[in-house]
Amino acid sequence: MPDIAQFLHKLSVYAIPVVLAITFHEAAHGWVAYKKGDPTAKMLGRVTLNPFPHIDPFGTVLLPAMMLLLARGWCSAGPSRSP
């Protein structure tokens, strides 16, 4: 069974950079929209580097947790042609 130090190391290596990248990405969306004349993201407090305003309970928490726990996902099959 992995110890707490190994878990924290994996968390810092994988999860923290992902959260930072998503936060920068979403803040950039809001900033560009604001500069193009759409104040919606700024009014909703999404033009920020604070990750909490960008979290959606279903898409950010529940769906990834379900996919990790159930080890399932979905996608559509690509077309193929047999020779």
Q: How far apart are CA 44 and CA 3, in angstroms?
A: 40
Contact present, 46 and 26 (Cβ < 8 Å): yes
Would the CA dihedral through 3, 55, 47, 33 be positive or negative?
Answer: positive
The amino acid occupying position 46 is R
26 is catalytic: yes
What length is written for the chain? 83
- Choose the catalytic residue: 4, 8, 22, 26: 26
User: Which residues carry out catalysis?
Assistant: 26
